Structure 1
Amino acid sequence: MNRLTILTGALIALAIPALASPGHDEEMAAGMPGDAGHVDRTVEVSMIETDDGEMLFEPRNLRFAEGETVRLVITNDGEQEHEFVLDSLEENQEHRATMERFPEMEHDDPNAIRLKPEASGEIVWTFTKTGEFEFACLIPGHYDAGMHGPVVVE
């Protein structure tokens, strides 16, 4: 592989998130960034691996009301790096395919957080639309190991 090929691949990996990501205040499929000063409730989410090779979120599904602003406190209680991405099933599948091609891709999206083991972070989110959405870890192999769940907004 020559230097031009490596440089081109690196530039594409850097450009894809910037081109695909809406602004931090724009509405996305599952809603939009919320105001941390006006949170309706806090939900704690844990990311774990099991002894039999599963990778899971606890809780395994989430349910919210349309218009609700939620503070999602996400903790990586596992031994591997994980991420939490909140989006539509279709958008997560597109993102997942991109991650397969560019596994070291970094994110700067308000609907996602990547955490090392024993780290915590949060996403404040307002669910502006009813429907079914998904939260998932899109690091290659993690989704297939069970690391995804439904989000229902009523």
Structure 2
Amino acid sequence: MPNFKTSSIRILAASTFVFGSLMAVQAPAFAGAGHSDAHGSEAAFDIGAPGNISDVRRTIRITMEDNFYDPEKIIVRGGETVRFLVENKGEFVHEFNIGTAAMHAGHQEEMMMMVEHGVLDVDKIHMDKMEMDMGNGMTMKHDDPNSVLLEPGKTAEVIWTFPKAAELEFACNVPGHYESGMVGKVRLQ
């Protein structure tokens, strides 16, 4: 039987290696909307919309660790507005982002740009660099209503109204985290 502490250290070391290795890789050119607009595009309509606190009937607590979520799956009703209380209990910066697999793939390129431009360190978000121009007036601002990006020990909330039908997941798009398994399923009923 493997030692839990040793396994955790190996996972932490592997995550650090993946993150560090990805930081050295040149990201491909990014075309399209800026970071703060990418999730507000027409595709966002397929994933739901920001919710109103007055419509919330339940709260789901999401804990982010290195590199997994607790819980790993959520079940919601189509049209339901949910308040997510998200806490980062890990040692790294993590994200809770509701979207489709395709949206996450595109967002991972944006997050890589944040690393390359010094906005994100393994355990720190440099908020002063979020307004940096990536070209064509696009910024690295991370203020989409379907997402929160948190340093270790921080908490935030997302209030989201789910669509009637969609294939959704929640994920961390910090370089290497999605690939390490930091993704959860959203099941709509």
1:46 pairs, out of 39, 43, 63, with 63
The C-alpha deviation readout for 1:39-98, integer Å capped at 9, x for no partner, is: 01100000012xxxxx10000011100111100000001111111110111111111133
Counterpart residue number, 2:12: none
1:99 matched to 2:116? The reply is no
1:40 is matched by which residue type in structure 2?
R
Partner Cα distance (1:129, 1:92) in 2: 20
Counterpart residue number, 1:17: 35
Which runs of no fewer than 5 residues in structure 2 stay unpaired?
A: 1-29, 120-139
| Structure with more helix by fraction | 2
Counterpart residue number, 1:36: 53
Equivalenced residue count is: 135
Partner Cα distance (2:54, 2:112) in 1: 37
Is this contact kept in 1: 2:86–2:157, CA < 8 A? yes
Query: Cα gap change, 1:140/1:57 in structure 2, threshold over 3 Å: closer, same or farther?
Result: same
2:40 is matched by which residue type in structure 1?
P
Shift of 1:31: 0.4
The C-alpha deviation readout for 1:7-65, integer Å capped at 9, x for no partner, is: xxxxx8xx721442427xx953220000112201100000012xxxxx10000011100
2:156 pairs, out of 121, 125, 130, with 121
1:70 pairs, out of 78, 82, 85, with 82
| Structure with more strand by fraction | 1
Give the % identical residues. Answer: 37
Counterpart residue number, 2:179: 144
1:130 matched to 2:173? The reply is no
Secondary structure, counterpart of 2:56 in structure 1:
coil
Counterpart residue number, 1:6: none
Shift of 1:124: 0.4
Is this contact kept in 2: 1:28–1:87, CA < 8 A? no
User: Which of structure 1's runs of 4+ aligned residues deviate more than 6 A?
Assistant: none
Query: Cα gap change, 1:97/1:85 in structure 2, threshold over 3 Å: closer, same or farther?
Result: same
1:81 matched to 2:93? The reply is yes
- What's the RMSD between the two structures over aligned residues? 2.2
Secondary structure, counterpart of 2:65 in structure 1:
strand
